[in-house]
């Protein structure tokens, strides 16, 4: 529930500054779960072993060294314990994301057997944001698993694109033809992001909101022009995403209203609306109101994203 404190815009993070840790490591309970690998995930794991340790995106080593293996395990056990309240499990998840490292990836990966599609969606999201290649096998496994909910498989595809390793292009291209439209379009976007990274020597600049985005923001900053691209269904989805992230970065009421129009027009009720919901809750309270309308009128992927992003403003 939203409190009565006045809303304050998030401060863009200074270059080189790290995310703070969330929560206290000693505050978590117990439980465990497991997983399995097959297909593309198993092939990736073999290739990963040949290359050596992957690059991880996490807090600095000295900070992580202050957290013991036992404390990381306690956090992980809370995450995988279905008897724990969902807010406590989410807090454990985002603490593991901020800590980073192989153990954090392994604990997050164990929770994909859970019954909560919303939690599994956020598991995949966090693994993508960590940009640790150790997460690639489990993300491939989730993407391949048609028993997983579409919103979970879609987020696994997006996370593979966020990690940024071109070795997963073949897998993403295969699932770009998936019969589930949200999965197919997400994989198409992930392919375009990886191709964009290959064709542009300079990676996209750091997001002012500390996120790894599925498309780099457009260079255009005129809100009216960006709105036109976003709402134009004849445009390639990748370009519409670029317009969406540019609007998020520009911020302000006009940008928020432009983003909200994607809901009103009912454009791409799958991944574009899902991503629009999460971007709306970043710039302003008007975005929170739009996300509230989304969660009241939509279902599936969009509903889950709206609920999660609205909670982030409370």
Q: How many other β-carbons are positioned within 10 Å of the β-carbon of residue 193?
A: 24
User: What confidence tier does 310 reach under pLDDT thresholds 50, 70, 90?
Assistant: very low
Torsion of Cα atoms, 96 then 98 then 99 then 101, to 10°:
80
Report pLDDT for 262: 83
pLDDT at 267 over 70: no
Most confident of 10-14, 93-97, 210-214, 232-236: 93-97
Q: Is the pLDDT of residue 237 over 90?
A: yes
Give residue 207's pLDDT: 80
Q: DSSP code of 28?
A: -
Please give the CATH number for the structural domain made up of 37-199. 1.25.10.10
Q: Is residue 140's pLDDT more than 50?
A: yes
Are 240 and 269 contacting, i.e. CB atoms less than 8 angstroms apart? no
| Average pLDDT of the chain, as a whole number | 77
pLDDT of 39: 53
Entry field: residues in the chain: 314
Q: What mean pLDDT comes out for the span 141-155?
A: 98
**In 10 A of CB 104, how many CB atoms?**
29
- Give the pLDDT confidence of 193-218 residue by residue, as tens digits: 999 999 997 767 678 888 999 999 99
Question: Mean per-residue pLDDT for 9-19?
Answer: 42
Q: What is the DSSP letter of 168?
A: G
Domain spans, the chain: 37-199, 225-312
Residue 59: pLDDT band by 50, 70, 90 thresholds? low
Residue 25 binned pLDDT confidence (cut-offs 50, 70, 90): very low
Nearest of 246, 199, 193 to residue 218 by alpha carbon: 246
Contact 214, 158 (CB under 8 A): yes
- The better pLDDT of the pair 291, 255 is held by 255
Query: Rg of the chain's alpha carbons, rounded to an integer?
Result: 19
**What's residue 206's pLDDT?**
72
8 versus 207: the higher-pLDDT residue is 207
The residue written with tokens 């983003």 in the block is 259
pLDDT band for 104, please (50, 70, 90 cuts).
very high
Q: What is the pTM of this model?
A: 0.73
Lowest mean pLDDT among 79-83, 138-142, 214-218, 288-292: 288-292
* Residue 106, Cβ density class (10 Å: 0-12 exposed, 13-18 middle, ≥19 buried): middle
């Amino acid at each position: 529930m939203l409190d009565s404190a006045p809303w304050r815009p998030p401060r863009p993070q200074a270059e080189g500054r790290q995310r703070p840790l969330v929560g206290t490591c000693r505050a978590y309970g117990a439980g465990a779960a497991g997983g399995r690998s097959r297909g593309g995930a198993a092939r990736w794991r073999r290739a990963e072993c040949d290359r050596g340790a992957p690059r991880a995106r996490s807090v600095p080593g000295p900070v992580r060294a202050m957290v013991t293996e036992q404390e990381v395990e306690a956090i992980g056990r809370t995450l995988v314990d279905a008897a724990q309240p969902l807010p406590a499990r989410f807090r454990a998840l985002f603490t593991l994301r901020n800590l980073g490292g192989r153990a954090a990836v392994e604990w997050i990966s164990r929770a994909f057997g859970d019954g909560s599609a919303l939690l599994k969606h956020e598991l995949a999201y966090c693994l993508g944001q960590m940009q640790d290649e150790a997460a690639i096998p489990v993300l491939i496994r989730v993407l391949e698993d048609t028993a997983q909910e579409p919103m979970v498989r879609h987020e696994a595809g997006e996370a593979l694109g966020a990690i940024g390793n071109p070795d997963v292009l073949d897998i993403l291209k295969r699932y770009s033809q998936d019969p589930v439209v949200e999965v197919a379009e997400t994989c198409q976007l992930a392919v375009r992001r990886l191709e964009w990274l290959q064709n542009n020597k300079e990676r996209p600049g750091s997001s002012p909101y500390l996120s790894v985005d599925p498309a780099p923001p457009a260079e255009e900053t005129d809100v009216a022009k960006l709105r036109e691209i976003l709402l134009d269904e004849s445009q390639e989805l990748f370009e519409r995403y670029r317009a969406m992230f540019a609007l998020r970065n520009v911020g302000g009421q006009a940008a928020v209203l432009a983003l909200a129009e994607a809901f009103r027009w009912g454009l791409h009720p799958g991944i574009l609306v899902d991503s629009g919901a999460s971007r709306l809750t970043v710039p302003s309270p008007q975005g929170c109101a739009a996300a509230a309308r989304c969660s009241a009128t939509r279902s599936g992927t969009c509903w889950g994203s709206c609920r999660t992003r609205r909670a982030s403003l409370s």
